[in-house]
Amino acid sequence: MAATAAANPTISSISITRLSSLSPPSHHFNKLIYHLLKPIPKPLHVTHSKNPLSDIIRETTKNLDNNSLYFNDDDDKPREECGVVGIYGDPEASRLCYLALHALQHRGQEGAGIVCVHDNVLQSVTGVGLVSEVFNESKLDKLPGDIAIGHVRYSTAGSSMLKNVQPFVAAYRFGSVGVAHNGNLVNYQALRAELEENGSIFNTSSDTEVVLHLIAISKARPFLLRIVEACEKLEGAYSMVFLTEDKLVAVRDPFGFRPLVMGRRSNGAVVFASETCALDLIEATYEREVYPGEVIVVDKEGVQSLCLMPHPEPKSCIFEHIYFALPNSIVFGRSVYESRRTFGEILATEAPVDCDVVIAVPDSGVVAALGYAAKAGVAFQQGLIRSHYVGRTFIEPSQKIRDFGVKLKLSPVRAVLEGKRVVVVDDSIVRGTTSSKIVRLIKEAGAKEVHMRIASPPIIGSCYYGVDTPSAEELISNRMNVEEIREFIGSDSLAFLPLDSLKKLLGNESSNFCYACFSGKYPVEPKGKVKRVGDFLDDGLSGSMESIDGGWLQGTRNQKGVVNRTLNWEQEINFSK
């Protein structure tokens, strides 16, 4: 398709539909001619970066004045790579982008950035740290304009240095382009090697930079088709927003692994975001998802949509509903809160136990625990208090404290736990190290019995699609059965959400979700080696980052997991859902 488009500037092979009411595109796109963009001179690109190098490079665990300095990373959980935002047509685009990134902060805490357009110049502010640490009034004053994109990241491909913080901006012969990406490209290494062989020079270790190189070398016209041609070469997960001097473009991979939604503010401004919680904060009304395999272009002519490429049925990440997304978000057309509450109800039905109180591992286990308690007819209480004020580093006293990292984050409430038979609901178990510490913490607070209930199936496989998970060898459910895990973590009983029950809950939509981390069957097989980080962390609460740039995961081959990718657009997705 790309070759045809490049040779034929009328682009008759691409069907485009103008969406006046933003209704789902029909199965047969109206054939309209997309007017060519005239080449324009390259504008300046202004970049403002926060933090000196000493603030960017993370130290490893070391002794300091006979005390031990540790990194306080998040709990032993998979981590979402990032969140993206795009806004078109609002005079305060960068400030709204800043607020939306606040709402998406849970998706990434290691870096943040915003790119806007002002007088045909793309201006960028990026930094390492939380959104509130990167941006202030003076930084936002440097970002005028009515078009902006933003990004918060937790590194999955590429180490956590300032040069890897998105959005990325590049100038090429037809102008400048900025991109923010959520996901992970499974063929990144092969694409990068091919590009470098042909003379491309890379400035980062992020897979997102590959996309910019592919756009720059594309001979397709106009810019929209350069994106299409670039994306045709990508494999894996990508929900992206692009920015040019006059356009905002949103793209989602053909499988729809990662979420991307569209909304509109009362003044007509169009907003894209990873979750609807970002729309809520900036008072944008949710309209719909960006569909798998769809490209949406927003410019002065309005909103246009086209099919990116033929694609199979969607394979949306089920972990968005289990852990990543905020409960108040609508993801893949479903309420995250309702999903998690129902997960808890299923656990209470299929794995009941006599108990006196139901508690949650905060914060991600709370909604499932509420569902469990309601179904079981047992009181839900706050038996663990989470501290939200622990920084990234802390100093342990010379007299070592057992489970120090967990105790900094979680404090048991003895009045709730003492002498009680306690059901503890958590969203997942990864390595099992944190779960064992939590069980020990609750028992030390006087609990008579501790029964763990996990609101997801056992995780047996690594994720290649933008989620930071350990290697399969480190996943406890890949090495032990349920009884062995129960013995390892020290609970009196243990039960997981059955995969069959999860699929039954999803009903007719169950085939539209990716369960690779539970089944080991991958919709898109990794090719060669896939970069990831996080394998060098112990339980996510204390651990060394010294080898962060050496984490390579050998791709596996499971032909049964390969899905035929040659289906026609009309056969693949029912947009009326």
Query: Would you name the residues annotated as active-site residues?
Result: 82
**Gap between the Cα atoms of 183 and 15, Å rounded:** 27
Side-chain half-sphere exposure of 388, counting CA atoms within 13 A:
3
Amino acid identity of 27?
Answer: H
Q: How many residues does the chain have?
A: 577
Residue 48's DSSP bridge partners are 125
Encoded tokens for 37: 């963009």
Residues 6+ apart with CB under 8 A from 396: 67, 68, 70, 404
Cβ pair 512, 313 in contact under 8 A: yes
**Gap between the Cα atoms of 19 and 21, Å rounded:** 6
φ and ψ at residue 9, rounded to 5 degrees? -65, -15
- Give CA angle at 48 (44, 127), nearest 5°: 140
- Classify residue 388 by burial, with Cβ atoms within 10 Å: 0-12, 13-18, 19+: exposed
Amino acid identity of 331?
Answer: V
Residues 6+ apart with CB under 8 A from 236: 183, 184, 185, 186, 187, 188, 253, 257, 464, 465, 466, 524
- Three-state secondary structure readout of 476-544: HHHHCCHHHHHHHHCCCEEEECCHHHHHHHHHHHHHHEECHHHHCCCCCCCCCEEECCCCCCCCCCCCC
Residue 112's DSSP bridge partners are 127, 152
Element at 221 (helix H, strand E): none
**Gap between the Cα atoms of 41 and 119, Å rounded:** 13
- Classify residue 267 by burial, with Cβ atoms within 10 Å: 0-12, 13-18, 19+: exposed
Pair type for strands 493-496 and 449-454: parallel
φ and ψ at residue 487, rounded to 5 degrees? -65, -40
Residues 6+ apart with CB under 8 A from 2: 218, 220, 225, 228, 229, 232
Encoded tokens for 377: 């007819």
Cβ pair 161, 56 in contact under 8 A: yes
Distance of CA 168 to the CA centre of its chain: 17
Amino acid identity of 362?
Answer: P
Radius of gyration of the chain from its Cα atoms, rounded to whole angstroms: 24
